[in-house]
Amino acid sequence: MSRISTFLFPLIAALMPAVALAQVTDGEALPPIPEQPPDPVSSSLLDGMLLMSSEAMIMLVAGVILSFVTSVLVKQAWSDDIKAGIYFAICIVFGLVYTLTLDEWNTADAGRRILLVLVAGTLFYQLFKGPMQAVTTRSDGFTSGLTIGRK
């Protein structure tokens, strides 16, 4: 079987372009050649961000802001699961409230908004994990000094 396959597979690979050309030239006209070649597609990150919709940019900025706000609200002593759950709940609430304010309810759009906010905030937190934990620690010290009714 291996001897047959060593001869058969290269033969098939060599005949594939001929089969493709035979399908195009059996009476059909070739498509016209464009007068001007299409613009090259840039793959830079900045070009991708410039082509994003304004709503997607709002969701990314909201994710960064909500990540910062969550780091102020949570305590450093809480477990990572609780912190992640709180941030996930905040992202869900933000996505749902934003979708409800647009006067058109679409579950797919709400899910996309929640996902964009969640991913943007998580990436921002992971990128600046040290400074964000420092903010959480400082906010713990600030909020522990504030007690109601203390003289």
Q: What is the pLDDT of residues 71-106, one digit of tens each?
A: 888 888 888 888 889 999 999 999 899 888 887 777
Domains in the chain: boundaries: 52-133
Q: Burial, 40: exposed, middle or buried (Cβ in 10 Å; 0-12, 13-18, 19+)?
A: exposed
Q: What is the pLDDT of residues 17-61, one digit of tens each?
A: 665 665 555 556 666 776 776 666 666 666 666 677 788 888 889
Q: What is the pLDDT of residue 10?
A: 75
